[in-house]
Structure 1
Amino acid sequence: MELNVFNSSNKVSVSEETFGRDFSQDLVHQVVVAYRNAGRAGTKAQKTRSEVAGTTKKSKKQKGGGARHGALTAPIFVGGGVTFAAKPRSFAQKVNRKMYRAAMQSILSELNRQGRLTVVETFDLDAPKTSGLVAKLKDFNVGKRPLIVTEDATENLYLSARNLPYVEVRDVQGLDPVSLVGADTVVITVDAVKKIEEWLA
């Protein structure tokens, strides 16, 4: 299959497997959730009644004082332990390489089918100016949340996009399923398309 290049008569030949694959919602959902979970710290920690600093002496006499209570470190008291205390843990989910690549192919194919994938010859700026990037993006009608993907994101491009909310710049190595799914439009260079195809082949 071929992808049209914006404002050019040229076309880019790509494999059907990478940019024409059937969309698998279950697979994409699994990979996106796994990717987001991998970024979770998992450092939440609470203390059980045995870990709370405090005496375990009986708080008052057994009879004549109402309810019969033991140590004040029990979960029913303020400042006591937590009944089912949270402990540090990993939220990581295993996603093998074949599944991850298939999910990326599925996302790219769906973006192409929906007309949200814009291929350009090059995308670079002469100077790190936000106004220059804004003017350039107006030509592409990218929506509110554009994602710019180049083979190697230059410093000028990165600095120009830094102050723009919802505008992301990625190189091929930094591409991930969450950024692709969350973008209204993906503006991608021809070199990046070829590099992605080599990566996902």
Structure 2
Amino acid sequence: MFTGIVQGKATLIAIEDRGEFRRHTVRLPQELSDNLQIGASVAHNGCCLTITEFQNNEVAFDLIAETLRCTNLGSLQVDDVVNIERAARFGDEIGGHVMSGHITTTTDIIAIENTDFNTTIWFKLPESCKPYVLSKGFVGLDGCSLTIGDVLPDRFNVHLIPETLERTLFGQRQVGDAINIEVDAQTQAIVDTVSRILAQQQTSVK
């Protein structure tokens, strides 16, 4: 489980293709390298990955074909940087919202609007996410727990403060970049349950 509060950024230092999967190795910030263990979970751009090997703060993860296909991790190259969050522990503050690290799909940045005090980023609204992206609701974008701003039929936006831009990759993102999306699981469960009940009621009336 993750909270959507990005703790730092890590640099990709090695990529090794191994047939059906890819191993990539990142250099974690020193402050995020304590108590590492094989099998522990670390989110990369919001995608939950499992530690398979580590030496000091150089940590390896195996990515299966589905992960490479469904997330933006498949397009990474050596020296690229990812948002990092270690798995939440019992008693940790949940500063964002509960996230699983299971990416729904990716989307593209289509516009960036800068002002003196914040930045608004517009994203394409994927068809599969439309029922769950609601104004003032939650969404996970590259591992960041963010509040949704405006929602239009084909796009939505979020508003970012300078601290978020500094702490995460959003300060470097450009129009056209692919971003991982994780829809809020609670929103998805409610919407799907209500839709199923309404469909059953309509069927019974007929």
User: TM class, shorter-chain normalised?
Assistant: under 0.3
Higher helix share: 1
Q: Compare CA radii of gyration and give the structure with the larger one.
A: 1
Relative to the length of structure 2, the TM-score reads 0.21
Relative to the length of structure 1, the TM-score reads 0.22
